[in-house]
Amino acid sequence: MRPDRFAVLVTGGAGYIGSHAVLALLEAGWPVVVLDNLVTGFRWAVDRRARFVKGDAGDRELVPALIESEGIGAILHFAGSVVVPESVADPLKYYRNNTATTGALLESAVACGVRHLVFSSTAAVYGDAPSVRVDERMTPSPINPYGRSKLMIEAMLADVAAAHPLNYCALRYFNVAGADPLARCGQSTLGATHLIKVAVEAALGTRDGIDVFGTDFATPDGTGVRDYIHVTDLAQAHVHALDLLIAGPGESHTMNCGYGRGFSVLEVLAAVERASGQAIARRFLPRRPGDPGALIADNGLIRACTAWQPRHAELDAIVGHALRWERILTERQMAIG
């Protein structure tokens, strides 16, 4: 505990990335309050040392009351809708639950004098980037409503920080994967579409196999290349971002979160086969609409601005932890029947 410190509100703290961030904050000594409406998250995923409140991040009565009663001085804002194809089919859901909800959260934060906010942005803001390695100076150009809903929030944050005594870090996550190395939590999302999650499900037989979307990209083996970041390293980046906001002279930052290297779909499948000892059946299909061939983070900025030190960057570690968590989930589901 850091009794001299305020408490941190974690919206979406019952979700995949938020639940890992809660662990990182607790381990760094922060008192933590989680606010989550449980639309995709799980109450059991929240560490018992954190206070849990079920509710909406955009609730203009609940949030100010919570900020006042819990002594909240900073917000880590993970709550949102995250599925790209769904955002294409139902864009207004994304402008409501991402953009409008964050607007309401910011109103509460400003009204109550919250000074710091760390926001979950995404590499999806870059869209079809003109180069494989992207840095924060590139003009964002999202190609789907999900990315646009997040870029609108980045713009809103910049305006709010210019007008009020609140600074922020917008962290643009690349491809988040893996699970807590101590197996306390992991990705439990139902019907997930992320490659590593889908591949470990296929290895454990909870799905038949995997579709490989596109074999004709300008990449070494023709399949899509991504910068997979271990969720625990990403969670740690949030603790460093918070420290940066507190220490700094009120500046705000927009920073990539990735390792600066990429793996193809086939390399990921080979890693999952190595870790599980199971062959994964695959179908080769055309490209998914809107998929860039390769997307890799330039992470020079976060490395220069913070003391962030990735510890789990090896693909085998990311896949191994994801697989172990998937086994735990499968066993739990079998126990429930």
Residues serving a catalytic function are 146
134 - beta bridge partners?
297
Closest approach of Cβ 42 to ligand NAD, in Å? 7
CB proximity list for 226: less than 8 A, separation 6 or greater: 174, 175, 195, 262, 263, 294, 295, 296
Closest by CA position to 242, among listed 114, 93, 101, 51? 114
Q: In sequence order, what DSSP letters do the residues of 147-215 get, joined into one string? A: HHHHHHHHHHHHHHHHHSS-EEEEEEE-EEE---TTSS-----TT---HHHHHHHHHTTSSS-EEEE-S
CA-based torsion, 13, 14, 18, 20: positive or negative: positive
Site string for ligand GDU, 228-267 (x = CB under 6 A): -------------------------------------x--
Give the number of other Cβ atoms within 10 Å of residue 155's Cβ: 11
Verify binding: residue 296, ligand NAD, rule CB under 6 A.
no
Q: Which of 31, 37, 160, 217 binds ligand NAD (CB under 6 A)?
A: 37
Beta strands at 225-226 and 263-264: parallel, antiparallel or unpaired:
antiparallel
Q: Which of 17, 84, 114, 229 binds ligand GDU (CB under 6 A)?
A: 84
Q: Which of 20, 116, 148, 194 binds ligand GDU (CB under 6 A)?
A: 194
11 binds, among ligand GDU, ligand NAD, none (CB under 5 to 8 A by kind): ligand NAD
At residue 24's C-alpha, the angle toward residues 20 and 29, to 5°, is 145
Verify binding: residue 57, ligand NAD, rule CB under 6 A.
yes
Verify binding: residue 178, ligand NAD, rule CB under 6 A.
no
* C-alpha–C-alpha distance, residues 327 and 34, integer Å: 27
Verify binding: residue 31, ligand NAD, rule CB under 6 A.
no
With contacts defined by CB under 6 A, how many residues of the chain interact with ligand NAD? 29
CA 228 remoteness from chain centre: 11
Comparing CB distances to ligand GDU, the nearer of 183 and 285 is 285
Verify binding: residue 212, ligand GDU, rule CB under 6 A.
yes
Which stretch in 30-38, 67-75, 203-211, 242-250 sits in contact with ligand NAD by CB under 6 A? 30-38
Q: Which of 59, 267, 273, 291 binds ligand GDU (CB under 6 A)?
A: 291
224 binds, among ligand GDU, ligand NAD, none (CB under 5 to 8 A by kind): ligand GDU
Binding site for ligand NAD (CB under 6 A): 11-12, 14-18, 35-41, 56-58, 78-80, 82, 97, 101, 120, 122, 173, 175-176, 189
